[in-house]
Structure 1
């Protein structure tokens, strides 16, 4: 199997890439250290162009950020800042849309192929009982809609393709370090192994779904 891990320099992305290599898979990694900038459309297009002619059984998007340019998750609507919210959407929603536009054509066309993107349970509208974190929640909810909509279109062209949003659990990474003290956490390695297990069990009937690291559907 050939895999492309986007964001392989981060905690979960690095763990996913390492686990795939342990399984004997052929892994290509892309991240900002390679010049990929998800908030720059030309950068995304050029990164995909650089892989032209290749096809992948798995494209795993592990990019994302909770704190961007110093803007932390809001505890109240009084903390909403237009620039901070725009930054969240640029990376966690529009960035994923650009990945789908330019990288989904690299999915294998003659066999089962998966495009999986890390979302977050807090992006669930139905499972929001605490409030707060408005910009991050909204950007992840937007990503979920992007994934769902893209899955429908991609399935029309390739009925073996699977496009899914995944909640990785509360993982011990730099992203969660300041915000995870009240929640049970798992290591990036545990999350990676679990997520890859979930992906292995998906069928084309599961395309357009939102799953957690245990394989359970997450409410939109």
Structure 2
């Protein structure tokens, strides 16, 4: 049985992804809550991922947060708080970047694989029509750039790999509880099934792109 790795497995989407992938893969689930994995701490990332040996056909980075330390998304740049913005960058941009740095050796060189980093449509610069949410948008735009850049490098040595950014849609979890009335949402199990389908559809030529839960490419 092929192996899958889910990082951020204690969150609502992460738990659902573990359950969905377990139907076809031998899943390794890692999280801060269960394993002490702090994606903003490189020593923690290096030690946790360094303990793994076998390659994974599926790797999903499902970490992140919309609100950190009680700071809600800003309605306007006039409400921006420097520390709140840096906290968003540390968790939503730096965290996945560190994971990609240290998970590299676990991506197979001679067999197909898909690596996905959960992002958000609000991180799309081209799709931004209403403004607001400056810190979260910026952090997600940053992680999109990390994914796109890393995918270019990965393609040089891992010809059958595909690395993408992935928008899960609005999922009914504690992460989005305050915002569920504003946008259509789906339960985590449905979201996980949608995302698994997107991963299954990917090919090496799709690497470096940004997809949503409906398998539609999202503009950068």
Q: Which residue of 1 aligns with 2:109?
A: 109
1:99-156 deviations in whole A, cap 9, x for unaligned? Answer: 1100122012210011101000000001011111000000000000000000000110
**How far off its partner does 1:24 sit?**
3.3
The gaps in structure 1 that reach 5 residues or longer are none
Aligned positions, number? 218
Is 1:55 aligned to 2:60, yes or no?
A: no
SS of residue in 2 equivalent to 1:114: strand
d(CA) in 2 for partners of 1:74, 1:219: 23
Is 1:98 aligned to 2:95, yes or no?
A: no
Q: Is the 8 Å Cα contact of residues 108 and 158 (structure 2) preserved in structure 1?
A: no
1:115-130 equivalent positions in 2, closer than 5 A: 115-130=115-130
Root-mean-square deviation (CA, aligned residues, Å) is 0.8
Q: Which residue of 2 aligns with 1:77?
A: 77
Is 1:211 aligned to 2:208, yes or no?
A: no
d(CA) in 1 for partners of 2:153, 2:107: 14
d(CA) in 2 for partners of 1:180, 1:78: 25
Q: Is the 8 Å Cα contact of residues 58 and 115 (structure 2) preserved in structure 1?
A: yes
The gaps in structure 2 that reach 5 residues or longer are none
Q: Is the 8 Å Cα contact of residues 9 and 31 (structure 1) preserved in structure 2?
A: yes
Q: Which residue of 1 aligns with 2:184?
A: 184
Q: Which residue of 1 aligns with 2:12?
A: 11
1:18-75 deviations in whole A, cap 9, x for unaligned? Answer: 0111x23100000002010011111111111111x21100111111100001111001
Q: Is the 8 Å Cα contact of residues 113 and 160 (structure 1) preserved in structure 2?
A: yes
Q: TM-score, normalised by structure 1?
A: 0.97
1:12-51 equivalent positions in 2, closer than 5 A: 12-21=13-22, 23-33=23-33, 34-51=35-52
Q: TM-score, normalised by structure 2?
A: 0.97
